[in-house]
């Protein structure tokens, strides 16, 4: 078994949006269409694309990072992505941009977008998935987006 990391990795933020771009001149990130709610008329629903920006600091050594999306009530993991990451400077702030495609959400409810390091939850952000109800006259509901 490997030695524990000397520092506890910290997550400063998790942001959910449609797209993330980097300005090549300034190296700044441009986040487009931030959101914390998905609305759908049918379930299961497919969300075509989503980007997640995770900002980490206080890293020293190697970690197994995992991004998960989990339905709160059922505990069903909708998505899990994981891989190794190495940090050499605990004072550095590192942005991780994760692109997700075709996410299947089985049912409405609260979902958690979470980042884990070595199986420990560093941070989580709620993502509310709601059903849009149609009107009695057969019309469409207003999705507000």
Domains of the chain: 10-131 (2.60.40.1930)
pLDDT digit string, tens, across residues 67-87:
999 999 999 999 999 999 999
Pair 111, 78: CB distance under 8 Å: yes
Rg (CA), the chain: 18
Confidence of residue 8 (pLDDT cuts 50, 70, 90): confident
Beta strands per DSSP E along the chain: 10-22, 29-34, 37-40, 45-57, 61-71, 77-87, 93-105, 109-117, 120-131
pLDDT digit string, tens, across residues 91-123:
999 999 999 999 999 999 999 999 999 999 999
pLDDT digit string, tens, across residues 60-71:
999 999 999 999
pLDDT digit string, tens, across residues 23-60:
999 999 999 999 999 999 999 999 999 999 999 999 99
Q: Which residues of 63-93 are buried (b: 16+ CB within 10 A; e: fewer)?
A: bebbbbbbbeeeeeebbeeeeebebeeeeee
């Amino acid at each position: 078994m490997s030695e524990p990391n000397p520092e506890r990795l910290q997550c400063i933020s998790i942001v959910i949006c449609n797209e993330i771009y980097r300005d090549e001149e300034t190296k700044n990130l441009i986040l487009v269409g931030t959101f914390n709610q998905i609305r759908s008329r049918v379930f299961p629903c497919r969300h075509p694309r989503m980007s997640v920006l995770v900002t980490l600091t206080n890293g020293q050594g190697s970690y197994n990072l995992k991004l998960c999306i989990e339905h709160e009530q059922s505990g069903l993991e909708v998505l899990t992505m994981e891989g190794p990451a190495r940090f050499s400077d605990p004072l550095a702030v590192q942005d991780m941009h994760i692109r997700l495609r075709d996410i299947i959400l089985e049912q409405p409810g609260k979902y958690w977008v979470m980042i884990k390091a070595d199986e420990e939850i560093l941070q989580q952000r709620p993502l509310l998935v709601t059903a849009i109800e149609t009107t009695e006259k057969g019309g469409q509901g207003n999705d507000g987006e």
